[in-house]
Structure 1
């Protein structure tokens, strides 16, 4: 029995190790390049007097004790560490400087937020790894009539990306992994909420908001139900397909309604 368990464990760990070796490596996150308005903290090992927290000026410079003005515009934090260390060493201020640069606030990077939000416009990414939900909050949130699926357009690792982000899944279902970090020059767009149209023999014909998973029966209920002359027999849905052509469908009550559907309720002939 012990021999069997030992053999089984060795087999299992062997498979696990093989999967670990063959698993694709996670894509590296793009490193932020310093720019005007960014706030950084500089620490020099064993030289606390040289430590400083400062903001990059409009031309991307900082003022460093002893060294003076240093341009860090367009540098990563690691490259900035090397440049400051070289300046300290070349000036004979520190023999073997060990410099750490920590990004505290990001002001040089901005994104655009458009569509159905309270305050559309350009917004700075003020903290490292700010999320889509945080940027939507900065724009005053989604207004009434706005969609709860957010579209993000940007560039990641040099390639264009377009992502649809489900806000209720993040905020209500707790799927925080869907709340991705924004990057410089991203565009966030909040479309109008999907709509449907109901006319004919219903109490309140007109335009209605399409809720998730809404059925034909629920759509009729949202329109106040049928009139005394209305009938649920022979219901028709006019639906536009991907090619732009309109198809006429005779649905069942439990069929799902789609965006921009037009539901027609006929008059009973009896």
Structure 2
């Protein structure tokens, strides 16, 4: 009960809505800043940041692994180091988290407000995080990529927005501290020549050549579909091929469509 009560107090003081594991105690994570005190030994009071490897440096004990441990377990480990070295006979160690960084998640890429956000609820999910980031930007892709760690193993999942917003529970993944959500740029195509509105446009799923021309406003009075060219870069060689494709053929990312002028 001591650990649960202490963790609850830490959550209230630090202002974090959630800092507990499924077992009820917050697990220290890389980036967390903690204050370590030893009863009746004020000279040992230390403020330290948990390193990427999960360690903190403490006087007399040296580098000590605390990452992934509860506050109570970390206190016992440091106390054990002091006692084993004969520095303090009956050490009473107290750890107080000053900054909880392990319970943050990041959103990168084509969103309206990228950055780091705290996990505000115990079951915060991908859709909630996208809402905090202001949603996907107009030029954002239709798929978001979630990366993180689960059970000590790297995790990567591609989540289509159509599944996410259809409330598919398998797509709306529950988040964990340290997760990163990335929204890439949407694939685009370019159209120029004898079209009403030349420029770059987003490729919608399954978009064909004729649909791309319609997106560009259609042909001008001088334009013709005859001899239309699609410039397409080969992914492996990097060479740009000039193709004549069917008007109902699907486009690929970064295709460049050139519409020629009619000779008659």
Please indicate the TM-score interval, normalised by the length of the shorter structure. Answer: 0.5 to 0.7
Change over 3 Å in CA distance of 1:39–1:190 after alignment to 2: closer
**Cα shift at 1:58:** 6.6
Name 1:181's counterpart in structure 2.
174
Name 1:147's counterpart in structure 2.
141
Q: Distance in 2 between matches of 1:240 and 1:157?
A: 40
Name 1:232's counterpart in structure 2.
225
Q: Distance in 1 between matches of 2:260 and 2:212?
A: 15
Change over 3 Å in CA distance of 1:256–1:58 after alignment to 2: same
Residues 119-177 of structure 1: per-residue CA shift (max 9 Å, x gap): 211111122232111111111111222223112222233332332211122214x4231
- Whether 1:135 and 2:129 are equivalent positions in the alignment is yes
Q: Distance in 2 between matches of 1:157 and 1:74?
A: 11
Q: Distance in 2 between matches of 1:257 and 1:235?
A: 14
Q: Distance in 1 between matches of 2:213 and 2:177?
A: 45
- With the length of structure 2 as denominator, give the TM-score of the two structures: 0.62
- With the length of structure 1 as denominator, give the TM-score of the two structures: 0.60
- Whether 1:169 and 2:170 are equivalent positions in the alignment is no
Runs of 4+ in 1 over 6 A off after TM superposition: none
CA contact (8 A) 2:147 2:181 kept: yes
Change over 3 Å in CA distance of 1:235–1:107 after alignment to 2: same
Name 1:21's counterpart in structure 2.
none
- Whether 1:202 and 2:195 are equivalent positions in the alignment is yes
Q: Distance in 2 between matches of 1:74 and 1:154?
A: 15
Secondary structure (helix, strand or coil) at the match of 2:134 reads coil
Number of residues of Structure 1 aligned to a counterpart in Structure 2: 190
State how 1:32-181 maps to structure 2 within 5 Å.
Answer: 37=16, 38=18, 59=34, 74-75=68-69, 108-172=102-166, 174-181=167-174
- Whether 1:215 and 2:211 are equivalent positions in the alignment is no
- Runs of 5+ unmatched residues, structure 2: 1-6, 37-65, 77-99
More divergent stretch after superposition (153-162 vs 237-246): 153-162
**Cα shift at 1:264:** 0.8
